[in-house]
A and B are shown apart, each in its own frame.
Chain A
Amino acid sequence: MATDVHRPVTTQAVRVEGLTRSFDDRAVIDNLQLDVQPGEFVALLGRSGCGKSTLLRILAGLDRDIEGTVLVPRRKAVAFQAPRLMPWKKVWRNVLLGLPGKPERTVADQALEEVGLTHRSDAWPKTLSGGEAQRASLARALVREPDLLLLDEPFGALDALTRIKAQRLVGELWQRRGCAVLLVTHDVEEAVLLADRVLVMDDGIIAHEEHIDLDRPRDITDPRFAELRAGLLERLGVDTAAEAA
């Protein structure tokens, strides 16, 4: 379990109570409760349009049109589906963007080393491949030493091979850093592979919660893995019996 790494469990990393977010009188998030422990890796699944990205944006402080209580750590960072690097800043300047004070370049290079991108530190973002850009975006999030890392489908736009590498990287970084992670994804396998706890969002609330007690590193060929995956898929309305046949 990840809840016992690095930080004492005195308080939650995320505390959400009675959260409601409406668009034109339609509640996308409807009286939602959510707690995330420090150092916990939580994956948030759901059909598209179920409000999972809205929830992430609220936790990131990007959407404040809300009712209810939302408590998040002061130090938090987001990585989006698109890397969203500033094209007019070299990679290392992108990494340092928004940090308080005047941090040295070595700070950026350390973060880039963690994601294996030191050699691209001086490059323009336009010259990065999709995977490299996403890793730069991760470095930009990590350099903030967040207590909460919010990941909004960060692997969605990557090709299959790059995605596997990136998932592995995120798993490693999380274990090294011990920060709480909220991963929004639509990939059930990815959620079961990485998370301590998988939440399924439906109708504006957390409709289902699944603790993943498999040992790490996880093996996708493990029958228990397949079972969890099938169970979650069923929750999401995908008939797995047809797939098994």
Chain B
Amino acid sequence: MSISHAPPGSPEPDISDISKADASRHASPDSASSASPDLVPIVPTSSRRTRVPRWLRRTTGPVLLLVLWQLLSATGVLTADVLASPGRIAQVAGDLIADGSLADAMTTSLQRVAFGLLFGTLIGTGLALVSGLFRIGEDVVDAPVQMLRTVPFVGLIPLFIIWFGIGETPKIAIITLGVTFPLYLNVYAGIRGVDSQLIEAGESLGLSRWGLVRHVILPGALPGAMTGLRYSLGISWLALVFAEQVNADSGIGFLMVQARDFLRTDVIVVCLIVYAFLGLLADFIVRSLERLLLQWRPTFTGR
């Protein structure tokens, strides 16, 4: 690049230092050929973009991590009683799948999350609608919900065990509680964040109150609701882990507790992977849902 330099062909030695730069700039029209600017091609996006499909690019990171782990195990840096190697874990996973114990555990755990999500979504969205749509609902509902929100829901496990025993109920209740608040907050904020100009436009078009809710407020709150759902899903797995570590006799958490008692790091890692995989799957579902429901959004989608 020669932008910051005087053109090499036009030094004028008998002019003093102070005006040198100035002089060379004046001189440049005469020596146009040597002073012409560097031309840099603007590369079209299509040719710059790699041909590797997006899903493949997104999987490279995890795969690299896995390779590194296997290398560390193979070289003996990572011993089996600290963390089993990926190969050993894959083998154990195969065994667990083959004898059906993993499938059983997953079904039980998924059921717990599904029920917790269902109840949490119903309660969280319901409360948010009441306090978002009605002034009186806000006054009655919002304050207690904001107060309860500050209680760490995991801390309620002992109380839930006293109330609901040690069956499925306290586990589902914990997940429900964890799911409710992020959904409530985001749906409520989404409803209150709907552009007042659009509401006014809806009014001027003669929409009834219900029509406004259905055609303007609820679709406008949908992006917030999706954000809430994402948070909720994340928290639901977290709640599941906590719930299953306590007094579980089935489920992934139970498998883990059992494995801990026998120092089976391989089984623990398999369970962790299952948790991670389920979390990933849930995230994928929400993303797909967003792409489907929020395709109208005029936001940047990334390259």
Contact = CB atoms under 8 A, between A and B. Distances in A.
Interface of A: 60-62, 77-78, 80, 82, 84, 86-89, 97-100, 124-126, 140, 144
B298 interface: yes
Contact of A98 (B197, B207, B298): B207
Given A87-B296, A87-B298, 14 more contacts: A77-B205, A80-B197, A86-B201, A86-B216, A88-B219, A88-B220, A89-B219, A89-B296, A97-B202, A97-B215, A98-B202, A98-B205, A98-B215, A126-B296
B222 A80 contact: no
A78 B298 CA distance: 24
Interface residues of B, number: 20
Contacts of A60: 204
Given A62-B203, A80-B197, A98-B202, A89 B298 contact: no
B200 interface: yes
11 contacts: A62-B203, A77-B204, A80-B201, A84-B198, A84-B200, A86-B198, A87-B297, A88-B219, A88-B296, A97-B205, A98-B206
Contacts of B201: 78, 80, 84, 86
Contacts of B219: 86, 88-89
B215 A62 contact: no
Contacts of B205: 77, 97-98, 140, 144
A154 to B, nearest CB: 13
Contacts of A88: 219-220, 222, 296
Interface string B279-296: 000000000000000011
Contacts of B137: none
Nearest to B215: A97
A62 B298 contact: no
Contacts of A144: 205-206
B207 A97 contact: yes
Interface in B184-235: 197-198, 200-207, 211, 215-216, 219-220, 222
Nearest to B201: A84
For A88, A125, A126, which residue has the most chain B Cβ atoms within 10 angstroms? Answer: A88
Contacts of A140: 205
